[in-house]
Amino acid sequence: MNPPEACKPLWEHGWYRAAHHLASPNFGPRPDGVVVDLLVLHSISLPPGVYGGDEVQRLFTNRLDPNEHPWFEQLRGLEVSAHFFVRRDGALWQFVSCDQRAWHAGRSRHQGRDNCNDFSIGIELEGLEGETFEPVQYEVLGRLCADVAKQYPIASVAGHEHVAPGRKRDPGEGFEWTALRRRLGWSARCFPSVSDTSRRL
């Protein structure tokens, strides 16, 4: 007899029970002894500003047809992934075990450490950099961050724009860092500094 859903563990081998699971081939092992203590937030929509399709899921599983839309040509052959994806309607997807290294941050640096993919968990929000996000996305993101922090010693949350300045701009000015901080109740030290973001903490 299978245990009821409420009795199942929230995490199993780095997979989060509250998410839809769709395994990506784009991942690898984390370096030995690494401490996973950073959350990196991104925004994504394919094509930019278009929501509701399955293009992001297909991108992260190498099934996006570059001939399907002119903008997709620049993604031809790209192998990327994130651990999580929060849709505009609040649906949550997971593509890579948090015990593994997803390919989301690229060339990056945080608090003196390079290669953020090694020690971070990447969370994509369906949206366009500089634009706003939906209240339900903050609700799901807050719950996800809190549950991740119960499993991993998370010390910081940053945007892609903060770990790859000049190269990336997401999630952008439309992301309300104050809303996330209020929801989590974490210290301001866990978030980008006032000088690093347009939203005061």
**pLDDT tens-digit profile, the chain (201 residues):** 455 666 689 999 999 999 999 999 999 999 999 999 999 999 999 999 999 999 999 999 999 999 999 999 999 999 999 999 999 999 999 999 999 999 999 999 999 999 999 999 999 999 999 899 999 999 999 999 999 999 999 999 999 999 999 999 999 999 999 999 999 999 999 999 755 554 333
Predicted local confidence at residue 3, as pLDDT: 58
**Taking the alpha carbons of 192, 195, 197, 201 in that order, is the dihedral positive or negative?**
positive
Tell me the torsion sign for CA atoms 189, 193, 199, 201: positive
- The token duo for 32 is 């030995």
- Residue type at 89 in one-letter notation: D
- Prediction pTM value: 0.94
Q: Distance from first CA to last CA of the chain, Å, rounded?
A: 49
- Say how far apart CA 199 and CA 201 lie, in whole Å: 6
The residues near 123 (Cβ < 8 Å, ≥ 6 apart) are 39, 40, 41, 42, 82, 83, 84, 85, 86, 141, 144, 145
Given the residues 124, 126, 129, 161, the one annotated as active site: 124
Homologous superfamily (CATH) for 5-196:
Peptidoglycan recognition protein-like (3.40.80.10)
**How buried is residue 125: exposed, middle or buried, by Cβ count under 10 Å (0-12/13-18/19+)?**
buried
- Domain positions in the chain are 5-196
124 among known catalytic residues? yes
Tokens of 201: 């903490």
